[in-house]
Amino acid sequence: MMLQGWRWYGPNDPVSLDDVRQAGATDVVTALHQVPIGEAWTRAAVEERKNLIEKSQPGRSPLTWSVVESIPIPDDVKRLGGKATRSIEAWIASLEAVAASGIKIICYNFMPVVDWCRTDLEWELPNGAKAMRFDQDRFAAFDLHILQRPEAPAEYSEAAQRRARQVFEAMTQADIDYIVTNIASALPGSTTDPLTIPQFRERLLQYRGIDSNALRQHLSEFLARVAPVAEGFGVKLTLHPDDPPRPLFGLPRIASSAEDYQALFDAVPSKANGICFCTGSLGVRAENDLPAMAKRFAPRIGFAHLRATKREADGLSFFESDHLDGDVDMIAVLKALLAENRTRSSSDQIVFRPDHGHRMLDDLAATKRTNPGYTAIGRLRGLAELRGAIRAIEHAG
């Protein structure tokens, strides 16, 4: 069976380690979120977190820190590639600290300026639970009327611009503040800097002239430096897909399709160069055949985020659905992952985790502190559904 993981944000996470155990997970996915982007992690800090997870509660069901998600890649690496020497050296130092502690999977992303992006963090579902959502018209209203990006009007049809204006004109100042926080201020677990609107505009200006080919080249230059180090330690580097998997704010995105990943593996064939197979992110793009991608890239998959999204009528908006529903054929994906996992040694099992659960039941209480998408109960449900599906597939043989 694949290893059941759980994302944990550290000692300040409202979800405790005992909550993780009671959900049935055995493997923790976390990072040193307190370390500023670009600073090297120390072996002492990694060991302190590892001991907290694995040794702080003797007698409890054991937990293992198996995946680092994520060591943030500083912005200058995305803009400059191999020329960002100091930042790459700091990243390698963090990798070495992680590897020295026996952690063999590192997840990362290469999304410029903004990490994963949502316009709504608590969109109410028909059953009263709350989900995260990307509303294309609200996003366009932000781009055109709040950020006021000069190039934006040329990227939206007249009809889309009309809808965005209507959305913007109906916004209160509280609505504006809310969407600015969601998009520009960095969501939980983000590996990009929180930005004010003026800072956001300035950061976009720094990417002028950087198209998808240039960004892909910069990623290849980064991996050419770090992959040999990772391979020497037996560490897998797993690139998380873009979320959503398409250009935003005129910025290139280069981890959105099978072709993107194939180009990356062709450029840097090191066995350390792998994929974080995030079904939610990749599933937003209708042309992505996820079961086929899981089979095609199976040997490169060291880590999986298993969640589902539901595309809306406009083809661009989407929301987080139940883990076994939405537009993702989760059963077919699981069959592909399990088939690959059966070929591996006990020390090389795929780690998966439920992702972006709904806010539901007691987690809806106004007094309950939660991280958007990372509530205990919603992910507990997701992990239980995934575990049940896996058991059924394995039983069927």
| pLDDT, tens only, 5-45 | 999 999 999 999 999 999 999 999 999 999 999 999 999 99
Question: Do 262 and 378 sit in the same domain of this protein?
Answer: yes
Same domain flag for 178 and 54: no
Instruction: For 188, list phi and psi in degrees, rounded to 5.
Output: -55, 135
222 & 354 share domain? yes
Range with lowest mean pLDDT among 194-198, 290-294, 375-379: 194-198
- In the prediction, which pLDDT does 175 show? 97
Residues 71 and 140 in one domain: no
Asked if the model's pLDDT at residue 187 lies above 70, the reply is: no
φ, ψ for residue 347, nearest 5 deg? -90, 5
Domain boundary pick from 138, 168, 201? 201
State the pLDDT at residue 186: 64
Query: Is 355 marked active-site?
Result: yes
Tally the domains of the chain. Answer: 2
Q: Residues with Cβ < 8 Å from 26, sequence gap 6 or more? A: 3, 4, 5, 61, 62, 63, 64
List, in order, residues 6 or more apart from 278 with CB less than 8 Å away. 240, 241, 243, 304, 305, 307, 355
More confident residue, 189 or 150: 150
pLDDT of residue 20: 98
From 322, 327, 355, 363, the catalytic residue: 355
pLDDT computed for residue 184 by the predictor: 87
Identify the domain containing residue 387 by its residue range: 3-116+212-396
At residue 188, the pLDDT reads 67
Catalytic hit among 107, 115, 240, 327: 240
Q: Say yes or no: 127 and 15 in one domain.
A: no
List 115, 260, 278, 363, catalytic entry: 278
218 part of the active site: no
Alpha helices in the chain (DSSP H): 17-23, 43-55, 75-80, 85-100, 136-141, 158-169, 173-184, 197-206, 212-233, 258-267, 279-283, 290-296, 330-341, 376-396
**What is the rounded distance in angstroms from the CA atom of residue 14 to the CA atom of residue 375?**
9
Instruction: Indicate if the pLDDT at residue 356 is higher than 90.
Output: yes
Average pLDDT, the chain: 96
Q: Is the pLDDT of residue 110 over 90?
A: yes
Per the residue annotation, which of 305, 323, 358, 363 is the catalytic one? 305
Q: Is residue 310 included in any domain, yes or no? A: yes
Same domain, 358 and 302: yes
Decide if 305 is catalytic.
Answer: yes
pTM of the shown model: 0.96
Copy the structure tokens of residue 299. Answer: 């040997």
Q: Is 395 a catalytic residue?
A: no
* 206: in domain: no
Q: How confident is the model at residue 1 (pLDDT cuts 50, 70, 90)?
A: confident
Quote the CA–CA distance of 46 and 124 in Å, as a whole number. Answer: 38
108 and 161, same structural domain? no
Rounded to the nearest 10 degrees, how much is the dihedral formed by the CA atoms of 61, 64, 67, 69?
A: 60
